[in-house]
Structure 1
């Protein structure tokens, strides 16, 4: 039967977090590097590849974009929640992105540029990198 990965980690991932834990789970903390690599760059590339494949399959570009965005929405939320945790804030702060422009800018600055809390916080140990 299908088994979820539990022990294989990438050297690019923070601590001992698996890809499954990073992109699907809501627990833990990640640093800015992991946020930019996995929450921005990787999901941007995946989204563009999905859009291209859907357009090749005959989907209208607007529909392909909508479907690609829906498919990467949960991984983006999971990565962002972990980054909010590193800032010692609840994962519910991902909802700030629903505020047009200001919320998205706030989330980008807070998640992408400000350091996490030093040491352990209520969401776990400080990420190694």
Structure 2
């Protein structure tokens, strides 16, 4: 088939520069598709994530969390940040409870189950340290703050309260300066 055949499986932008949002098309998994020249001058769809300030659901937030594992540039919406926080809490809190109660002896020492669960917990936390730091920095970018503000979290108690307050702040358009 020729590259101009409308049934060859490719999607070309409509004349006049209309996007899918303007034509009433449903968004894809990462928002509306924009089109641009691909390799060798061919047109191809480019996935574009939801713009900051736009609500994303639980599943989309988790997918973006892992897809942007170590991406410290860009921005993360409030919903993306807090859905990930809920996801991490739903995994770590039960592990902590299992380590604390059935995983310890009356003397306070870990038994076999506690040791195994401690290794699982440590492995999970180690694997999720970088993406959690990245989403926190992207959330600060969305409120137009430098990622260096995450260092405030190192201050005992007060630092965590400040980080929570900053994560609750609404989206600021000026944060676009962090997009690349």
Structure 2 distance, partners of 1:50, 1:25, is 27
From 74, 99, 111, the equivalent of 2:155 is 99
Q: Tell me by how many angstroms 1:119 deviates.
A: 5.8
Q: Deviations over 1:24-67 (max 9, x none)?
A: 211111111111002x1122234347666xx7866265555444
From 92, 111, 118, the equivalent of 1:47 is 92
Q: What's the TM-score, normalizing by structure 1?
A: 0.66
Equivalent pair of 2:141/2:175 in contact (CA under 8 Å): no
Higher-Rg structure is 2
2:69 aligns with: 23
2:165 aligns with: 109
RMSD of aligned alpha carbons:
3.5
From 113, 128, 131, the equivalent of 1:72 is 128
Unaligned runs of 5+ in 1: 1-6
Q: What is the correspondence of 1:53-64 to structure 2 with a 5 Å cutoff? A: 59=115, 64=120
Q: Tell me by how many angstroms 1:123 deviates.
A: 1.1
Equivalent pair of 2:95/2:117 in contact (CA under 8 Å): no
Between the two proteins, the alignment pairs up a number of residues equal to 114
- The structure with the greater share of residues assigned to strand is 2
- The structure with the greater share of residues assigned to helix is 1
1:81 aligns with 2:137: yes
